[in-house]
């Protein structure tokens, strides 16, 4: 899925993931399905946890992550082609290798009928790997698009051009996407949202207190000029200065990450006939026509003040500056698929400067990722057949049912929620649709034109294909069989619009889930993930959707007040963490994910104890069942960052950095008992200060 535009909340997913033990012995080269002769040993240690990676000199109550993973983290070196690395990354690497095998097999098939999925997968990947062919073409594949931008003669044509190139994956200030209507869950609507920044977030332009941002801003202007020079454009330095100044003005109009979390504020319908008056400054018709949405009766504006400010900039900033800006944005979109000078310069800034990553990923990895984005379900169909046996899906289904049952008990026992609201919450939970492994209906790529030897053209057509596929949904029934992730994705998500939780095949692997591991470790791993995603439907934003997926107020005002008292505690607890000098966790931005970790841990712990059926858990290698549960949880969050990558995470990402996520255990009484945590230790909280939401 290229250029999939969605509101951040609607796909509130975990950040990373791991691998399935039952698939480890499957042959990469020849197996047509997972090997039935799987190992009976867990992947990690003797019971599913890497005991050797612990640092027992660290007291659990001082640093639980250090206790559970200190030796592993001290010895692990981030690979040179990564900006950060954790257990999730390790699983992504495995998924990537498997995907490569599938793609290269497709590419090697002789006599494949043109238009067949295998041909498209093979040709898309093969075209990107053809460095010699790409090098020989230089900038030629982009010249037609750059010439069209250079020929823009007025602001009407400028806005129309933005509408056109946005379909090709270019990041422009005003963006269009199609999604289910937040208040009319049976129809698709057209959303208009802010965009157009070259740096990761508005704070990179506007924050003058952090010197790191200042360094990045200086290097960014040099990068802009260098890219323009490589494209043969004159007066590159002056143009770069103008582009950067324009982007800064765009950033000034943007909503912050925290503002964008308030889902109800992103729903601002406007009739097409009133659009010009509501958002004046530039004629909207050319943009609507170019984007194929001129026939709509109504649009939904996500950030009204931002769109107003951007429209004013389109009307008042020099036309030539806008043309320079648009040419640069086109170059940035295309750079990874052009000759080496563009690839290297693009990585020198986006990789080395923004994330601290020393080396670019091998070309095959980039090609596998790119092919997966463009033809994800075509590859996914083959991935599932080879690496995700029916038994895996069956076991995952059972775990999900157990965690949902535990959540229902938690909801029924709430003391702070009104009985009527509580009943509605339980009805919402009962109506959940869990999706496990892979879609029930695969995507059709018949209309995607893939041509061997046309790497950039394939990317542009893939973007356009996806845009048109989304556009074609308008006026049709909601397709609730659709997935927002491929089976190879190491992740999970909650979609409150469809009241669903989704777990792709690739996350159902060790250390998250290992059928040969001790159940305590599995409940601490995948159980937490499942509980995490379930709870997103009841977090500070997910709670705003009713059981039908409609944005609605179904809580009493008193419920909301009592809930906010609890969530404010979560905000304060996480805002106290300072993983980089001067850079704290943004407690408001990460609230939903932190609440989900908290709820997920409570619920999965309950489910684990219910699974024991009243019997005591065995002691394994000196660890009790409860200790193994918490250690299994900590193991999945082993992660190291480069400083630049960590800064970007803290600025733009709704997730707390992985190495801090095990700290949530300090809110569970059972953790204190399991590890004899005492007052005075760094993570100790007095009983009355431990946060219990669900």
Does one domain contain both 149 and 284?
yes
SS3 for 265-291, per residue? HHCEEEEHHHHHHHCCCCCCHHHHHHC
pLDDT higher than threshold 90 for residue 320: yes
d(CA 458, CA 453): 9
Does one domain contain both 644 and 512?
yes
pLDDT higher than threshold 50 for residue 20: no
Which of these, 324, 325, 278, 332, lies nearest to 300 by C-alpha position?
Answer: 278
From 316, 337, 358, the end of a domain falls on 337
pLDDT for position 39: 65
pLDDT bracket for residue 396 (50, 70, 90): confident
Does one domain contain both 329 and 394?
no
Range of the domain at 664: 8-19+58-95+389-439+478-689
Contact at 8 Å (CB) between 519 and 608? yes
pLDDT bracket for residue 8 (50, 70, 90): very low
**Sheet hosting strand 500-504, strand order edge to edge:** 12-13, 493-495, 500-504, 433-437
pTM: 0.91
Of the chain, the end-to-end C-alpha distance in Å amounts to: 35
Does one domain contain both 401 and 550?
yes
pLDDT higher than threshold 80 for residue 25: no
Does one domain contain both 64 and 182?
no
- 445 within some domain: no
pLDDT tens digits, 627-658:
999 999 999 999 999 999 999 999 999 999 99
pLDDT higher than threshold 80 for residue 1: no
pLDDT tens digits, 422-461:
999 999 999 999 999 999 999 999 999 999 999 999 999 9
| Beta-bridge partners for 192 | 176, 301
CB neighbour class for 36 (10 Å; exposed up to 12, middle 13-18, buried from 19): exposed
Which residue bears the tokens 């542009």?
460
Instruction: Please work out, in degrees rounded to the nearest 5, the angle formed at the alpha carbon of residue 160 by the alpha carbons of 154 and 163.
Output: 150
pLDDT tens digits, 123-132:
999 999 999 9
pLDDT for position 667: 98
pLDDT tens digits, 506-517:
999 999 999 899
Does one domain contain both 414 and 273?
no
Does one domain contain both 288 and 401?
no
pLDDT for position 319: 98
Q: Is 169 left (phi over 0), alpha (psi -120 to 50) or beta?
A: left
- The helix (run of H) or strand (run of E) holding residue 433 is strand 433-437
pLDDT for position 31: 32
In this prediction, residues 384-395 reach a mean pLDDT of 86
In this prediction, residues 108-135 reach a mean pLDDT of 86
- 628 within some domain: yes
Does one domain contain both 166 and 72?
no
pLDDT higher than threshold 90 for residue 105: no
Does one domain contain both 522 and 610?
yes
Does one domain contain both 302 and 422?
no
- 219 within some domain: yes
From 318, 337, 356, the end of a domain falls on 337
d(CA 517, CA 49): 8
Per-residue burial over 482-497, b = 16 or more CB atoms within 10 Å of its CB, e = otherwise: ebbbbbbbbbbbbbbb
pLDDT for position 390: 84
Q: What percent of the chain has pLDDT over 70?
A: 93
Q: What percent of the chain has pLDDT over 90?
A: 88
- 637 within some domain: yes
pLDDT for position 34: 37
d(CA 325, CA 216): 19
Coil/strand/helix, residue 301: strand
Q: Which residue has the higher pLDDT, 112 or 277?
A: 277
pLDDT tens digits, 557-604:
999 999 999 999 999 999 999 999 999 999 999 999 999 999 999 999
CA distances from 106 to 56, 120, 290, 378 (A): 48, 9, 36, 11
pLDDT for position 484: 94
Instruction: Please work out, in degrees rounded to the nearest 5, the angle formed at the alpha carbon of residue 58 by the alpha carbons of 52 and 59.
Output: 120
d(CA 289, CA 287): 5
pLDDT for position 3: 35
pLDDT bracket for residue 108 (50, 70, 90): confident
Q: What is the chain's mean pLDDT, rounded?
A: 92
Which of these, 435, 445, 447, 442, lies nearest to 371 by C-alpha position?
Answer: 445
From 313, 337, 361, the end of a domain falls on 337
- 35 within some domain: no
In this prediction, residues 310-336 reach a mean pLDDT of 98
pLDDT higher than threshold 70 for residue 176: yes
Count structural domains, the chain: 2
pLDDT bracket for residue 619 (50, 70, 90): very high
- 462 within some domain: no
Does one domain contain both 88 and 213?
no
pLDDT higher than threshold 50 for residue 156: yes
In this prediction, residues 530-550 reach a mean pLDDT of 95
pLDDT higher than threshold 60 for residue 2: no
Does one domain contain both 313 and 176?
yes
| Beta-bridge partners for 437 | 504
- 463 within some domain: no
Question: The domain spanning residue 588 has which CATH number?
Answer: 3.40.390.10
pLDDT higher than threshold 60 for residue 122: yes
Sign of CA dihedral 288, 289, 291, 293: positive
475 phi/psi in degrees, rounded to 5 = 90, -5
pLDDT higher than threshold 80 for residue 37: no
pLDDT for position 22: 21
Question: The domain spanning residue 245 has which CATH number?
Answer: 1.10.1380.10
pLDDT for position 114: 60
**Beta strand 188-194 with 268-271: parallel, antiparallel or unpaired?**
unpaired
Q: Taking the C-alpha atoms of 294, 295, 299 and 305 in order, what is their torsion angle to the nearest 10 degrees?
A: 20
In this prediction, residues 283-293 reach a mean pLDDT of 93
- 254 within some domain: yes
Contact at 8 Å (CB) between 243 and 328? yes
pLDDT bracket for residue 112 (50, 70, 90): low
């Amino acid at each position: 899925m290229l250029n999939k535009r969605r509101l951040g909340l609607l796909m509130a997913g975990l950040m990373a993931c791991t691998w399935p033990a039952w698939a480890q012995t499957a042959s990469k080269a020849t197996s047509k399905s997972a090997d039935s002769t799987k190992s009976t040993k867990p992947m990690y240690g003797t019971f599913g946890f890497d005991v050797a990676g612990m640092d027992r000199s660290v007291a659990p109550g001082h640093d639980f992550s250090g206790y559970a993973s200190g030796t592993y983290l001290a010895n692990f070196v981030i690979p040179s082609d990564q900006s950060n690395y954790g257990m999730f990354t390790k699983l992504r690497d495995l998924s990537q290798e498997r995907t490569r095998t599938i793609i290269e097999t497709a590419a090697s098939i002789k006599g494949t009928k043109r238009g067949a999925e295998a041909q498209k997968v093979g040709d898309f990947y093969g075209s990107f790997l053809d460095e010699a062919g790409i090098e020989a073409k230089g900038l030629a594949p982009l010249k037609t698009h750059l010439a069209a931008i250079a020929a823009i003669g007025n602001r009407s044509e400028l806005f129309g051009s933005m509408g056109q190139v946005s379909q090709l994956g270019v990041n422009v200030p005003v963006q269009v996407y199609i999604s289910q209507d937040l208040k009319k869950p049976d129809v698709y609507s057209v959303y208009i949202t802010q965009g157009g920044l070259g740096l990761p977030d508005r704070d990179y332009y506007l924050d003058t207190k952090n010197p790191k941002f200042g360094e990045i801003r200086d290097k960014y202007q040099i990068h802009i000029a260098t890219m323009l020079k490589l494209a043969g454009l004159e007066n590159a330095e002056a143009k770069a200065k103008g582009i950067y100044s324009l982007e800064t003005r765009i950033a000034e109009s943007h909503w912050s990450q925290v503002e964008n979390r308030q889902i109800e504020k992103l729903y601002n319908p406007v009739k097409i006939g009133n659009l010009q008056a509501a958002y004046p400054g530039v004629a909207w018709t050319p943009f609507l026509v170019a984007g194929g949405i001129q026939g709509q009766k109504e649009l939904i504006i996500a950030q009204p003040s931002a769109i107003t400010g951007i429209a004013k900039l389109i009307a008042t900033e020099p036309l030539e500056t806008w043309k320079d800006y648009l040419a640069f944005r086109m170059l940035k979109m295309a750079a990874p698929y052009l000759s080496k000078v563009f690839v290297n310069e693009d990585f020198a800034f986006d990789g080395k400067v923004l994330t601290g990553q020393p080396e670019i990923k091998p070309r095959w990895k980039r090609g596998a990722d790119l092919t997966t984005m463009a033809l994800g379900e075509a590859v996914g169909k083959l991935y599932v057949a080879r690496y995700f046996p029916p038994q895996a899906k069956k076991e995952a289904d059972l775990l999900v049912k157990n965690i949902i049952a535990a959540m229902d008990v938690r909801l029924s026992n709430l003391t702070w929620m009104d009985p009527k609201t509580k009943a509605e919450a339980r009805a919402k939970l009962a109506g959940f649709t869990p999706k496990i492994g892979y879609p029930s209906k695969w995507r059709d790529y018949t209309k995607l034109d893939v041509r061997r030897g046309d790497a950039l053209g394939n990317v542009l057509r893939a973007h356009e294909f996806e845009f048109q596929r989304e556009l074609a949904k308008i006026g049709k029934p909601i397709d609730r069989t659709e997935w927002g992730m491929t089976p190879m994705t190491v992740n999970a998500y909650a979609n409150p619009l469809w009241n669903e939780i989704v777990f792709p095949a690739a996350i159902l692997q060790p250390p998250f889930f290992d059928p040969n591991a001790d159940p305590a470790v599995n409940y601490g791993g995948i159980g937490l993930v499942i509980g995490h995603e379930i709870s997103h439907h009841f977090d500070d934003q997910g709670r705003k959707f009713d059981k039908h997926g409609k944005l609605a107020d179904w809580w009493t005002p008193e419920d909301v007040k009592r809930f906010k008292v609890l969530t404010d505690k979560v905000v304060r607890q996480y805002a106290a963490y300072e993983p980089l000098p001067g850079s704290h966790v943004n407690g408001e931005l990460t609230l939903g994910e932190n609440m989900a970790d908290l709820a997920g841990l409570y619920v999965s712990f309950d489910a684990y104890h219910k699974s024991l059926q009243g019997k005591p858990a065995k002691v394994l290698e000196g660890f009790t069942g409860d200790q193994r549960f918490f250690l299994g949880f900590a193991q999945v969050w082993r992660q190291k960052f480069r400083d630049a990558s960590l800064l970007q995470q803290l600025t733009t990402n709704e997730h707390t950095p992985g190495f801090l996520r095990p700290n949530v255990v300090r809110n569970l009484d059972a953790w204190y008992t399991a590890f004899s945590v005492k007052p005075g230790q760094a993570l100790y909280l007095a009983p009355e200060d431990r946060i219990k939401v669900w």
